[in-house]
């Protein structure tokens, strides 16, 4: 029998959470070797079969910038089509958006930074310059009826600047919402946040007039804080959590960034809290076990490791 947590709800938590899966994009972009497109499509098919309804599949950047995602056009053409399943795609600029529109993409994301240093290193332009480009992307996407998600990276700390204050995050998030982003995902890119910092950040966003319903969280588990930070975000009213199957990921532009919150670890916790996700834990863990075999190394997810003896691939 597969071990399952006993559901014991806590007061103050939402009854349902959207798990926004980023493994095929944010997870695989950090792999040293390129994963075949057939493997990526199999991964996405398995994730959808496990019940995930929002799967960020790739990024339409220049192939030389992130070579692991150079197969984006082929991948998008081969996606399994399921009713109610979203396949967002990251776009860096208007050229990327034009590619997305030509490929039939219906939802895109842009990637801003709360810190000036990371904007320069990741986007090769200032924070203000990058936001102006995203304003143009949002305008054109709106005209085409395309939803836009806005990421804000380095929300709690930056490898070059140190701690990042909430006021910087509030400023960038406010601007992204003003230009038309429907959701803002707050990224702890190098995994330095703790629950108190999460509470403070979300409280300041609300005080600034940003509705908590437009906010998602994206935690990396560098110091083992991702689940604790997620629980604090849920207590603050957040209902969308980014996660990566098997805990894959990092950031090729910030070497101190390690893997994302593992989707299996998140779903196990939410199952135990009686919070609905629509995701089948066993199918999800089996998917990450299969992917680990394709990558040639064990999954960093503790839940996957714990279930490995009970599940086949």
Residue 17 to residue 271: CA distance in whole angstroms: 11
Q: What is the DSSP string of 115-157?
A: SHHHIIIIISS-HHHHHHHHHHHHHHHHHTT-EEEEEEE-SSE
Reference 263, options 245, 285, 242, 282; nearest CA is 245
Residue with structure tokens 């910030």?
Answer: 254
Residue 23 to residue 147: CA distance in whole angstroms: 20
Reference 118, options 169, 70, 67; nearest CA is 169
H/E stretch holding 185 reads strand 183-188
Q: Is 251 a catalytic residue?
A: yes
Q: Where are the alpha helices (DSSP H) in the chain?
A: 37-49, 72-77, 94-102, 116-118, 127-143, 166-178, 195-207, 226-235, 263-272, 281-295, 302-307
Under DSSP, is residue 19 helix (H, G, I), strand (E, B) or coil? Answer: strand
Q: Which of 138, 155, 181, 251 is catalytic?
A: 251
Neighbour-count burial for 51-85, b at 16+ CB within 10 Å, e otherwise: ebbbbbbbbbbeeeebebbbbbeebbeebeeeeee
- Show the tokens assigned to 94: 């208007």
Cα 289–Cα 263–Cα 100 angle in degrees, nearest 5 = 100
* Longest pairwise C-alpha distance within the chain: 55
Mind telling me the catalytic residues? 251
């Amino acid at each position: 029998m597969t071990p399952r947590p006993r559901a014991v709800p806590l007061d103050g938590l939402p009854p349902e959470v959207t798990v926004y899966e980023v493994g095929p994009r944010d997870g695989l972009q950090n792999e040293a070797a390129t994963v075949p497109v057939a493997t990526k499509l199999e991964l996405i098919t398995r994730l959808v079969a496990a019940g995930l309804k929002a799967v960020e599949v790739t990024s339409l950047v220049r192939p030389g910038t992130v070579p692991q995602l150079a197969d984006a056009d082929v991948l998008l053409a081969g996606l399994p089509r399921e009713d109610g399943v979203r396949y967002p795609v990251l776009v860096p600029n208007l050229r990327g958006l034009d590619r997305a529109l030509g490929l039939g993409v219906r939802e895109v994301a842009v990637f801003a930074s709360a810190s000036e240093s990371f904007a320069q290193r990741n986007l090769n332009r200032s924070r203000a310059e990058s936001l102006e480009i995203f304003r143009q992307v949002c305008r054109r996407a709106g005209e085409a009826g395309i939803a836009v998600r806005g990421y804000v990276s380095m929300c709690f700390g930056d490898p070059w600047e140190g701690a990042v204050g909430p006021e910087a995050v509030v400023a960038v998030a406010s601007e992204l919402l003003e230009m038309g982003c429907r959701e803002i995902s707050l990224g702890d890119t190098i995994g330095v946040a703790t629950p108190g910092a999460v509470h403070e950040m979300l409280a300041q966003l609300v005080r600034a007039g940003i509705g908590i319903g437009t906010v998602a969280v994206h935690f990396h588990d560098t110091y083992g804080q991702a689940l604790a930070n997620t629980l604090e975000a849920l207590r603050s009213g957040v209902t969308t959590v980014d996660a990566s199957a098997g805990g894959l990921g990092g950031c090729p532009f910030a070497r101190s960034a390690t893997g994302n919150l593992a989707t299996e670890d998140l779903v196990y916790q939410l199952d135990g809290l009686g919070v609905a996700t629509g995701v089948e834990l066993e199918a999800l863990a089996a998917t990450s076990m299969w992917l680990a075999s394709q990558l040639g190394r064990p999954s960093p997810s503790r839940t996957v490791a714990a279930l490995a003896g009970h599940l086949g691939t």
